[in-house]
Amino acid sequence: MKISEYFPSEVFKDRTVFVTGGGSGINLGIAKSYAAVGAKVAICGRTEERLDQAKGELEALGVKIHAVVADVRDYEALQDACDEIHVALGPISDLVCGAAGNFLCPANEMSANAFRTVVDIDLIGTFNATRAAFEQLKETHGCVLMVSAGQAYMPYSHQAHAGAAKAGIENLAKNLALEWGQYGIRVNTVVPGPIEGTEGVKRLTDEKQKHMLLQSIPLKRLGLPEEIGQVAVFLSSPMAAYITGSQIVCDGGMNLSGSALFNMAVNQA
């Protein structure tokens, strides 16, 4: 399904969207969805080569694109990135906090530094991005979308670090929605399930593991990056003007099945 079939191709032509971690995976899919409806899109990440490739894919959609190398753990770098985006594309109207780090590791084998790294990228990085973009979002009465995960509300084996970070993101979103609503800023989260082509799915390479994963999803298939992008565009659109502080789960119903089958698949990895 093309999002342009449901949204006019230039409906976001006056919007500037900033996607952290936008060089690949779900976040690139989100960036492409915004570009497909006419938004000017900025992406940031730590790898210049990956950003250059993503920028080329986005420019092919016919909109203005700006890419900047920045680590979300570095607040000053994000401040500079936001200032640069303002000059290049105009004030930020929509911020997608998608930069994340993750790996599979039992908690008893994880170093304190490894745990801290994921929290720093996911949770601290999300706060850094929202704080750095605040003044521009206030000016535009903008929208913030934080990319969360099922680990935020359900324990997943080998995922203590990601669960703690994503649970923090969910609470941060609600607090910012409460505090920033007075400025016309809306803040929501999206919870993707297993998405085709992402690093998390690639780690489950054994066919038996993949089968077990699919068995835990009522719709019996993996999601697509653009399906998360469609949720993002909806939440930024006037149709969602009264939605803030909310969590939108887009996981094919996986949350209804619990985490037992996922845990079995991981433990057999």
**Rg of the chain on CA atoms, in Å:** 18
**Main-chain phi, psi angles of 196, to 5 degrees:** -55, 135
Residue 5 CA to its chain's centroid (Å): 23
Q: Indicate the DSSP class of residue 262.
A: H
Answer whether 68's CB lies under 8 Å from 41's CB. Answer: no
Tokens read off for 193: 């399930």
Q: Indicate the DSSP class of residue 210.
A: H
Angle of helix 48-59 versus helix 25-36 axis, rounded to 10: 30
Instruction: Tell me how many degrees the CA angle 228-214-109 measures, rounded to the nearest 5.
Output: 85
Answer whether 129's CB lies under 8 Å from 178's CB. Answer: no
Catalytic residues, which ones? 148, 166
